[in-house]
Structure 1
Amino acid sequence: HVLVLNKVDLADPRRQPAVLEHLKQQGCSHVVFTDCQRDGNVKKIVPLVAKLVGNSPRYHRAESTDYSILVIGVPNVGKSSLINSLRRLHLKKGKATAVGGEPGITKAVLTRIQVCEKPLMYLVDTPGVLPPKLGDVETGMKLALCGAIRDHLVGEDIMADYLLYTLNKQQQFGYVQRYGLDEACDDIELVLKRVALAQGRTQKVKVLTGTGNVNVTMLSYPAAAYKFLRDFRAGHLGRVTLD
């Protein structure tokens, strides 16, 4: 098999050698780092897959001239984006499968999608999969930050607090300048207040006064937490590797 680590543009490049060494110890010798938004390194996949399949026993499929490859991974890592990127590179064609910035866009195993003419290669997109039981809470939080678990199942406020803790722990202080803070901070409420002010995340609330109901504009902390998470996932807070 080939292990594709997508969204490399969002990860800390200094951690790549350690990641490769760790995977090598686990028996993963065919690893490709990709950025499907810019087609980075994607062109390496088809020749590598063709070589591996060509050197493997094909049994009753020995006479077949085409390759059918199953794409498997956790939710929201870019499996559909990978297929579309391969089609752009090798067939000069557009999207064949829907993509989105949240888990659960692909809901069923789809039909074969051609991604290359020579060699004739088809990929099959599949829904994201996770272990039925995660090892610990921190693993679940990391998956949630990456968008592999729907935000509302964990809570945007809890995720934002863990994200701030992680950024400070790794000395990734890009959020300080982005949101106009004076210095690094471990108070998530203060950070979300600055996010709300900087991004205009407000909501109108009716307040009962002695003269009746009055509409008051207040900062929206839930919207600020959502924006904080989205900025992280878009790489606006720096390139971070959680593991």
Structure 2
Amino acid sequence: MAEKFVKHGHLFRKSFTLANKNVAKWFPGHMHKGMQKMVSRIKSVDCVIEVRDARIPLSGQNPKFSGILAARPHVLLLNKADLCDMSFKDDVEHMLKQQGIKELMWINCKEQFPSVIKKDLIPTIMNSINSYERYKQTDLSIYNVMVIGIPNVGKSSLINTIRRVLIQKGKATPVGARAGITRSVLEKIKVSADPKIYVYDTPGVLAPEVKNVDVGMKLALCACLQDHLVGEDVIVDFLLYWFNKHNNFRYVSVFELKEPLDDVLEFLNHVALKNNKIARVTSLDPSQGRTVYKPDFTAAAALVLKKFRAGELGPVMLDSNKMKHLHKA
């Protein structure tokens, strides 16, 4: 499909421009408090598990975590691997190892992966802890682990899944499909009896600012930012731009389009009409009657994002642009 549209010379935007948006509003103030609490707890922690969204393994890191990660053994988990284009797996691992990452695993917390938890994750955590001199504690048979990451990468889902697999207990921490569910550093949660492992769940913490618009929009696409703060239509506009730029036209068939579109309003109008997303609004024009019906662009945008985040538009690697030089080598 990609060759068909590229061959016919479709012209798409070369860059994405964000207009009339105050990016500072995307980052809630409670995140600074969360970071302070995490730093204060690090002394009592044996290992730090960092969770990132596998679709944004580079853009999804918070540089502010560097101090925490340097202080204790570090295991990086790339979650939502089922939504990721795994053809970039080797490139991602190469770049992360260049950044000093020693322990790395690809996971999908939506699946109860008992064999992975028992045979891979727990041994990896224990090996990391035992490779460093432990912080002095009264009971060395107890291991404390802190789980960190930016919002909505699956930290709480990970904790609940480990707990369910190892000690057959239900949810100990709230889970949601949007950013900002966990707002505080919780008390220790027991996730394993042998070895005795307790986990601190933490709030998702973003850097106070992003390097560029593309990084911010990738975070928004993966629901690491709250949709309404960025604007559903703006996020979909970036998604459309990204798909076209990378010659990924699966959305054309999914949304029953005749050809790729680069105009988000035209795209949302089509999606709204095809999916009966119609808004009833009061008319200001007496000649139209008191009520008129118009395509609901907000509802249409929400539908597009839901399908993308569920993987219905195909697996993606949103950080593929950061790895182009590896393919040229």
Quote the residue 1:18 is aligned against.
91
The match for 2:102 is: 29
- Range 14-23 or range 225-234, more displaced: 225-234
Letter in 2 for 1:128: G
2:207 aligned with 1:131: yes
Distance 1:60 1:209, change over 3 A: closer
Give how far 1:115 is off. 1.1
State how far apart, in whole Å, the 1-side matches of 2:171 and 2:292 are. 45
- Per the alignment, residue 256 of structure 2 pairs with 180
Greater shift in the superposed pair: 88-97 or 61-70: 61-70
Secondary structure, counterpart of 1:111 in structure 2? coil
Helix, strand or coil for the counterpart of 1:9? Answer: helix
What is the CA distance between 1:198 and its match in structure 2? 2.8
| Separation in structure 2 between the aligned mates of residue 133 and residue 210 of structure 1, nearest angstrom | 47
- What are the equivalent positions in structure 2 for 1:1-243 lying under 5 Å apart? 1-40=74-113, 41-43=116-118, 44-61=120-137, 63-207=139-283, 210=286, 213-243=289-319
SS of the residue 1:60 aligns to:
coil
Q: What amino acid sits opposite 2:176 in the alignment?
A: G
Please state how far the C-alpha of 1:163 moved relative to its aligned partner.
Answer: 0.6
Deviations 1:162-213 (A, max 9, x none): 1111112222222111211112222222221222123221111222565784
- The residue type equivalent to 1:167 in the other structure is F
Tell me, yes or no, if the aligned pair for 1:115 and 1:123 is still in contact at 8 Å.
Answer: yes
Bigger relative contact order, structure 1 or 2, given CA contacts below 8 A and separation 6+?
Answer: 2
Q: Deviation at 1:61?
A: 2.8
Cross-structure match for 2:29 = none
The offset of 1:145, in angstroms, is: 0.9
Please tell me whether the aligned partners of residues 180 and 194 of structure 1 are also in contact (alpha carbons under 8 angstroms): no
Work out the CA distance in 2 between the residues paired with 1:184 and 1:212: 33
* Residues 60 and 178 (structure 1), Cα distance of their counterparts in 2 relative to 1, 3 Å cut: same
In structure 2, how many angstroms separate the alpha carbons of the residues matched to 1:111 and 1:59? 19
Matched residue count:
243
1:72 is displaced (CA, Å) by 0.7
List runs of 5+ in structure 2 lacking aligned partners. 1-73, 320-329
Distance 1:211 1:191 in 2: 28
**Partner SS, residue 136 of structure 2:** helix
Q: Which 5+ residue runs of structure 1 have no aligned equivalent?
A: none
1:21-56 alpha-carbon deviations (Å, 9 max, x no partner): 000000001011110001344442211101111222
TM-score by length of 1: 0.94
One-letter code aligned to 2:88:
R
Q: Percent identity?
A: 44
Moved more, 6-15 or 214-223: 214-223
The 1:213/1:14 distance shift into structure 2, 3 A limit, reads same
Q: Deviations over 1:66-122 (max 9, x none)?
A: 111000100110000000111122112221111111111001000111111111111
Distance 1:184 1:212, change over 3 A: closer
CA distance, structure 1, for counterparts of residue 146 and residue 274 of structure 2: 44
Distance 1:42 1:148 in 2: 25
- 8 Å CA contact 1:203–1:218 kept in 2: the answer is yes
